[in-house]
DNA sequence: GTGCTTATTGTAACTTATTACAATAAAAAG
DNA sequence: CTTTTTATTGTAATAAGTTACAATAAGCAC
């Protein structure tokens, strides 16, 4: 288990929640994957080793981990949600044609966030966004 | 039916697709609502008058209308999708605490889009985003 | 109008996601 | 280690969304 994984489990205990076997297993799958996973993918990863862990437990724990700020839910292209460990602040830019996806550093959005805070009076949370477009290779076709 | 609704139906015909009763009814519900609706809400709007229209037809037509650029799908807070007529370019900013939602003009995102196009080489599509934060009234609690 | 073509639909079966509630096991106390 | 407490789980039922395929009706030619 990585250093930050240990930090998360300590935090869960510190906040008075329980470190259950399914909960830790879900966190481990997400850490090992290192990217976005759907609830069904997580279920399939766990099932061979922990066949008793049920779907509702996956969904409930993903929600629990999200509400506690340990994972993030991000809508995939077709309406489903994918989950990932909250780590470095980033966003995505996906090619509508070939699907190629690159990461955007959150620092690039910082000026926008400040402008939005000024013009609306809201305090903005760092939300996770996926932008769409055409990559350099597909761009000619896209126009 | 509004002027732009007529434009949409003409476009559908012009592109070789059929103007079916369910398809027009779904468009009308979205036009009359004037905002975001879930597939289930659309189904419930239609059911009293057109009880034979089925759920798969709702989903298929929403997908059809989206792929043809007439409606937009936008993820609601809890992973579901909401649909709206594609009209003026806008985004949303929702308070995580009280749910109050305000619209953001797309022009405010234009500088970001240009910066992203320069730094990535992608050509960006105008994607619909929902930002989260705390509104002026909830902000004190949020900090 | 009648008949033809085929995009679109409804039905049925299935997958994915959510809810209610009794059973379980994690944490803490004795 | 044993008991107590209750957060968390599994089961069963339900809701939301998708797929396969035969039946239908929108558009067109006559
Ligand atoms: Mn991500
Ligand atoms: Mn909108
Ligand atoms: Zn591409
Ligand atoms: Zn608020």
Determine the distance separating the centroid of ligand 4 and the alpha carbon of B102, expressed in angstroms: 11
**Closest nucleotide relative to residue B52's CA, C1' based:** C10
**A98 in reach of chain B (CB within 8 A):** no
Q: Which ligand is nearest to the CA of A138?
A: 3
d(CA B36, CA B33): 8
Per the CB < 8 A criterion, the answer to whether B58 and B39 are in contact is yes
**Closest nucleotide relative to residue A17's CA, C1' based:** D7
Could you name the CATH architecture of B90-133?
2-Layer Sandwich (3.30)
B17 forms bridges with which residues in the sheet? none
Under the banding of pLDDT at 50, 70 and 90, the label for residue A93 is very high
Nearest CA distance, A35 vs chain B (angstrom): 18
Q: pLDDT (tens digit, 9 = 90+) per residue, B29-81?
A: 999 999 999 999 999 999 999 999 999 999 999 999 999 999 999 988 788 99
Residue nearest to nucleotide C24 (CA to C1'): A20
CATH topology of domain A3-85: Arc Repressor Mutant, subunit A (1.10.10)
**What are the residue boundaries of the structural domains of chain B, listed by start?**
3-85, 90-133
For residue A2, what pLDDT is reported? 63
Which residues lie near ion ligand 3 (Cβ < 5 Å)? A 95, 97-98, 100, 135, 138
Give the Cβ contact number of residue B5 at 10 Å.
17
Dmax over CA atoms of chain B, in Å, equals 55
pTM of structure: 0.91
A90 forms bridges with which residues in the sheet? A105
Nearest CA in chain B to A63: B78
Under the banding of pLDDT at 50, 70 and 90, the label for residue B115 is very high
Average pLDDT for residues A54-67, to the nearest whole number? Answer: 97
Interface probe for B, chosen from A112, A118, A132, A137 (most Cβ of B below 10 Å), is A112
Map chain B to HEC letters. CCHHHHHHHHHHHHCCCCCCHHHHHHHHHHHHHCCCECHHHHHHHHCCCCCCCCHHHHHHHHHHHHHCCCEEEEECCCCCEEEEECCCCEEEEEECCCCCEEEEEHHHHHHHHHHHHHHHCCEECCCCCEEEEECCCCHHHHC
The answer to whether some atom of strand C lies closer than 7 Å to the beta carbon of B61 is yes
Q: Which ligand is nearest to the CA of A131?
A: 1
Average pLDDT for residues A127-139, to the nearest whole number? Answer: 93
**Could you tell me the distance in Å between the CA of residue B79 and the C1' of nucleotide D17?**
12
Burial class (CB in 10 A: 0-12, 13-18, 19+), A88: exposed
pLDDT at B11 over 60: yes
């Amino acid at each position: 288990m990585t250093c930050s994984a240990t930090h998360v489990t300590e935090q869960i205990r510190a906040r008075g929640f329980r470190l259950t076997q399914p909960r830790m297993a879900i966190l481990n799958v997400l850490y090992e994957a290192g990217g976005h996973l759907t609830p069904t993918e997580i279920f399939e990863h766990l099932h061979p080793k922990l066949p008793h862990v049920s779907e509702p437990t996956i969904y409930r724990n993903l929600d629990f981990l999200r509400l506690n700020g340990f994972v993030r839910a991000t809508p995939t292209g077709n309406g489903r949600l994918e989950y990932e460990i909250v780590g470095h602040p980033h966003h995505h830019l996906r090619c509508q044609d070939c699907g190629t996806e690159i990461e955007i550093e959150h620092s690039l959005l910082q000026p926008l966030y400040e402008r939005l805070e000024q013009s609306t009076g809201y305090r903005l949370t760092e939300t996770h966004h996926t932008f769409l477009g055409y990559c350099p290779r597909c761009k000619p076709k896209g126009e």
